[in-house]
Structure 1
């Protein structure tokens, strides 16, 4: 079982987004037959069997083993991965393109960068898995609390200068056998997690914007 499976085909993405199939995928973190999954989810066995065949057809579940029970072979399935991510490649015609409107201060551009990251690295992961190889990557994830918007802007400027200096030092356009790598750095606010029992702020604000008597 893979840690993450990146879904690149639109048909596979559609299959994974079906609510029942999503439940089946989650259930198959622990291998089971159609009858076992049906029991776990409280669904008819025939319905689960149909969805299992569709998930298997798209490579989202895999056959773990076959057991002989009397005159019947019982097929035991497991999820192909612990988690799934849908690549923008599945929506190729409408996937975001960072080259369309590059703007370092645009949240939508940052989303487009993230989408391209998923698409490119997802393609590498898929190809490496087929070849039985690993992908050489590096990721950095941290948090910083800024005292002010001015501090945030200053941090972004220093980060830009530091990355530019590193790229200038190590980039070699004419290196024989050199490989291009993409470096992406982003800063975004972390959404506040609602406290247990706290009222839904979004619902409250939406209600307060309604006209009296609406």
Structure 2
């Protein structure tokens, strides 16, 4: 899988160990404990210990067994290229969108994102078991607003446009689902982009700035 969503608390704990995280990273390509030991700089016995823990929680899987004399070498790989821990792993303290009602609340946005991870994790697992493709759609982009007023106006217009589309396509009648209709979740978010750390000035730039200040 491209991404596996971890729901089991014990599996989440196992994956968060720094050494096991490194092993999962290396196991994007199949490898044995001996091969991994050379890559991560640990004794083979220690690597085997971590591999057994990861395998027990379903985070790595057996690819093949190679017989070398009296020794059987096990080749394993990670079950996914990337992992994401679901809020289900912290169910008792996971954020609940129903606790918030302000659409301008950053905490509500975070709770919605948490719910999205939780629901998509279950949907992906279900689709994999059923061997069906999961229908989903997303838009990701950046927009720069000149003023806070422009941002507020954009949010208002976006809300109106989305509401208009929902009214146009939503079928809330009892016959919809009975006739094969499927309810879908719609989440639209807008938040500030993270600032990119400024690059330190080079020695040449610093010298040039100093020369200009002395002129």
User: What TM-score results when the alignment is normalised by the length of structure 2?
Assistant: 0.89
SS of structure 1 residue aligned to 2:129 = helix
C-alpha RMSD of the superposition: 1.1
1:116-145 residue CA offsets vs partner (Å, 9 max, x unmatched):
000001110011112222211111111111
Check 1:196–1:38 CA distance in 2 against 1; reply closer, same or farther (3 A cut). farther
Q: Which has the higher helix share?
A: 2
Q: 2:181 aligns with which of 159, 178, 182?
A: 178
Kindly name which structure, 1 or 2, has the bigger radius of gyration based on alpha carbons.
2
Report the equivalent of 2:51.
Answer: 52
Q: Distance in 2 between matches of 1:157 and 1:25?
A: 44
Q: Distance in 2 between matches of 1:130 and 1:180?
A: 20
Q: Distance in 2 between matches of 1:117 and 1:168?
A: 23
Report the equivalent of 2:205.
Answer: none
For the pair 1:197 / 2:200, whether they are aligned, the reply is yes
SS of structure 2 residue aligned to 1:65 = strand
Deviation at 1:62, TM superposition (A): 1.0
Report the equivalent of 1:42.
Answer: 41
For the pair 1:133 / 2:148, whether they are aligned, the reply is no
SS of structure 1 residue aligned to 2:28 = coil
Q: 2:191 aligns with which of 182, 185, 188?
A: 188
Deviation at 1:146, TM superposition (A): 0.6
Deviation at 1:197, TM superposition (A): 3.2
Report the equivalent of 1:122.
Answer: 121
Report the equivalent of 1:80.
Answer: 79
SS of structure 2 residue aligned to 1:99 = helix
For the pair 1:105 / 2:104, whether they are aligned, the reply is yes
Report the equivalent of 2:148.
Answer: 149
1:2-29 residue CA offsets vs partner (Å, 9 max, x unmatched):
1000001111111101111101101111
Report how many aligned residue pairs link the two structures.
197
Q: Distance in 1 between matches of 2:131 and 2:32?
A: 28
Deviation at 1:110, TM superposition (A): 0.5
1:45-99 residue CA offsets vs partner (Å, 9 max, x unmatched):
1111011011111111111111111121111111111100000011111110111
In structure 1, runs of 5+ residues without a counterpart are 199-214
